[in-house]
Amino acid sequence: MERQKDFYLKSPISRRTFSKNAGGFLLGLSLLKKDLFANSDAKVLNFYNWDTYIGENTLGDFKKKTGISVKMDLFADNEELFARFKKGNPGYDVIVPSDTFVERMAKAGLLEKINQAKIPNFKNLDPIFLNPQYDRKRNYSVPYMWGTVGIGYRKSAVKRVLKSEKLDSFKWVLDSDAFKNRIALISEPSTMFRIVLKYLGLDPNTSDLKQIKKAEDLLIRQKNNFKVFAEDNGQDLLLAGDVDLCVEWNGDIVQVMEEDEDLDYVVPTDGGFIWEDALCIPKNAPHLENAYEFVNYLLEPNVGREIAEFIGYATPNLKARALTGKSYRENPAIFPPSNILKELWTTKYLGEKVNRFYESAWVRVVSS
Residues near other proteins (CB under 8 A) = 1, 4-8, 19, 21, 23-24, 27, 31, 77, 79-80, 82-83, 86, 104, 107-110, 181, 188-190, 223-224, 226-229, 231, 240-242, 352, 355-356, 358-360, 362-364, 366-367
* β pairing state of 44-50 and 69-75: parallel
Nearer to other proteins, 169 or 355 (CB): 355
CB of 138 to other proteins, least distance (A): 21
Nearer to other proteins, 61 or 79 (CB): 79
CB of 94 to other proteins, least distance (A): 21
* β pairing state of 183-186 and 245-249: parallel
Contact between residue 318 and residue 335 where contact means Cβ atoms under 8 Å apart: no
Nearer to other proteins, 44 or 220 (CB): 220
Question: 288-298 vs 301-311: helix axis angle to the nearest 10?
Answer: 70
Nearer to other proteins, 7 or 37 (CB): 7
What letter would DSSP give residue 274? E
- How remote is the C-alpha of 348 from its chain's centroid? 15
Torsion 235-134-322-306 (CA) sign: negative
Q: Give the count of beta carbons closer than 10 Å to the beta carbon of residue 195.
A: 25
Q: How many CA atoms lie within 13 A of 212 on its CB side?
A: 24
Alpha helices by DSSP H, 208-300: 209-222, 234-240, 250-257, 288-298
Bridge partners for 150 per DSSP: 248
Strand residues in 250-326 grouped as ranges (E)? 263-266, 273-279
CB of 286 to other proteins, least distance (A): 20
CB of 260 to other proteins, least distance (A): 12
Nearer to other proteins, 106 or 303 (CB): 106
CB of 8 to other proteins, least distance (A): 5
Q: Give the count of beta carbons closer than 10 Å to the beta carbon of residue 40.
A: 10
CB of 367 to other proteins, least distance (A): 5
CB of 69 to other proteins, least distance (A): 28
Nearer to other proteins, 13 or 38 (CB): 13
Nearer to other proteins, 168 or 359 (CB): 359
Contact between residue 45 and residue 70 where contact means Cβ atoms under 8 Å apart: yes
